[in-house]
Structure 1
């Protein structure tokens, strides 16, 4: 239970495989490894599209009233407490009791750390982010969780998560995707039916 990663070695190939986005790393013992960079979904953070904060605040309050949601993989569990925090942990079952062995708080919600700007009419607005998924541009409501546990591989900077709420009519505000986009910087996607109430986020 203490093994975080398991490497399965590929049997020897008869001919090389051409891979995109790969580069070669040489170890101290002159061993060569081919590393492949994932092709990330495109996120447009420079969009000029916005929504009035007064229009979105009731929805944010509704989202934050939701209970805790979880996303689990074979080792880590991700806990989203809407409007409070995001936690990553690993637990083992010992003598019929669950014991947490590793735990990181990835970020806390602060209303003053959001993508809020003032428009030309002197109104507070929230920037709408867009992500290209399967050649479709999907509008998303971004909510930041900041000031998480210090990251020792990133100059002890605090961890941070950008949570994207997307319109899905059958969504129950659960986590459908989580990824680490750079060292201790994360993105989480949450499917919500409530956000479909706003035409700005309904891509259909």
Structure 2
């Protein structure tokens, strides 16, 4: 590894120092470079202020060209003529779905642009469910529009001129802040609960709760991942981009330094042995002069394990159907019990109205996989999600057929919150549903499912 770093340090720092006349501090990492070995350079020009010739210890010569100066934040803002941050966020505030975080006791419900709620439902057989809930903050679209219309001291839109940044996992992330107030009165302070919701750009985010903390008594802070903000240059991550230095071979030198080429081959082989478990043969000569081939056997496939911080009892109860996941807002809420059913329900003074979206049946699930082969689980070690078929639900009035639901159990890495669960229910076709359940819990669990995606006799 040392040779590569020597090449990189020599090229990156020497070229940068030459180009910028020594104005770059070599101990700063505000501008990152990556070398691209771009092959021979047919037309050789004189070395100018953006180029230099580098010679390796093996007398291999390369002309290295530093990239153009990076576009500044102000230049990016001038070129941007798209929607404002509020206009982008409004698509999230006006949607009907909510985000959920399920912990061992409390479930947290965030309805964007509406409220943040925590609740726990106790179910005793033969009795009506008992609900314990607290609103941690409320907000309306009208108040958000009013806040967006406020101007800062420079006469510009408040959210466009005062972009705040929070460092998360070592990355500086700009965020869009929503303040929720007037929640359920706090038992200790007697003041209404309130919450700060910080939305950050994440290209694959769709409003899930990344972090939820009680910063002080009955005052909360929630970090939300969303892709909608990524369209605005001011809200993209502030980690520095990596610029490419183009290095071209001169005077018959190889396209890439020989030592670097050898190093990459050795690293690739070592990586294959480590990650792919390939069988490796080595020829050697014994002291008596006899040649022998030594075979390093293929490593056994790793046994999937669950993280030590995961609540294993919770997983056991989930896989037996004793622990159900709840979500939804408004009139209908939904409930998923693994190996049993997916359903919607509504509670009012007259009792509970239930609509079953699908029941579990192993044979029906296998037939569904045969008809939809692309839904089969990937090989062990490559799984990010598994799909399960819940069919034979209540008859749909519009189609006259039984409701069906595809349940996706999806692995989402989040070491800080190993119990976090996000649920999303969609209806892409009338009475045909997709229920997505995302959680770090599934990351150590998916490989324990069989080839049909079914958990059978799983040891937790």
Structure 1 pair 96–140 and aligned structure 2 pair: CA distance change class (3 A):
farther
Q: How does 1:42-121 map to 2 (within 5 A)?
A: 55-66=84-95, 67-95=97-125, 99-110=129-140, 111=143, 114=147, 117-121=150-154
| 2:169 matched residue in structure 1 | 134
| 1:125 matched residue in structure 2 | 158
Structure 1 pair 192–98 and aligned structure 2 pair: CA distance change class (3 A):
farther
User: Matched residues in 2 for 1:100 and 1:188: separation?
Assistant: 27
Larger relative contact order (Cα-Cα within 8 Å, sequence gap ≥ 6): 1
| Post-superposition CA distance 1:107-150 (Å, at most 9, x none) | 11142685875234433312433212233221111111111011
Matched, 1:192 2:226: yes
> TM-score scaled by structure 2?
0.31
The SS at the match of 1:190 is strand
Structure 1 pair 59–100 and aligned structure 2 pair: CA distance change class (3 A):
farther
Per mean C-alpha deviation after superposition, the further-off stretch among 125-134 and 178-187 is 125-134
Do the aligned residues in 1 keep the contact of 2:175 with 2:199 (CA within 8 Å)? yes
User: Matched residues in 2 for 1:139 and 1:96: separation?
Assistant: 50
| 2:212 matched residue in structure 1 | 178
| 2:184 matched residue in structure 1 | 149
User: Matched residues in 1 for 2:210 and 2:175: separation?
Assistant: 14
Do the aligned residues in 2 keep the contact of 1:106 with 1:159 (CA within 8 Å)? yes
Moved over 6 A (4+): none
User: Matched residues in 1 for 2:128 and 2:93: separation?
Assistant: 27
Per mean C-alpha deviation after superposition, the further-off stretch among 75-84 and 63-72 is 63-72
Do the aligned residues in 2 keep the contact of 1:92 with 1:98 (CA within 8 Å)? no
The SS at the match of 2:123 is strand
User: Matched residues in 2 for 1:176 and 1:100: separation?
Assistant: 28
User: Matched residues in 2 for 1:82 and 1:88: separation?
Assistant: 14
User: Matched residues in 1 for 2:118 and 2:157: separation?
Assistant: 33
What value does the CA root-mean-square deviation take over the aligned residues? 2.4
User: Matched residues in 2 for 1:116 and 1:157: separation?
Assistant: 28
User: Matched residues in 2 for 1:81 and 1:169: separation?
Assistant: 20
1:57 is displaced (CA, Å) by: 2.4
| Post-superposition CA distance 1:150-187 (Å, at most 9, x none) | 11212x11100101111111111111211101000001
Do the aligned residues in 1 keep the contact of 2:135 with 2:184 (CA within 8 Å)? yes
1:97 is displaced (CA, Å) by: 7.5
Structure 1 pair 115–99 and aligned structure 2 pair: CA distance change class (3 A):
farther
| Post-superposition CA distance 1:79-98 (Å, at most 9, x none) | 11111111111112233777
Point out where structure 1 has 5 or more consecutive residues left out of the alignment.
1-50
| 1:159 matched residue in structure 2 | 193
> TM-score scaled by structure 1?
0.66
User: Matched residues in 2 for 1:107 and 1:165: separation?
Assistant: 16
The SS at the match of 2:165 is strand
User: Matched residues in 2 for 1:145 and 1:132: separation?
Assistant: 22
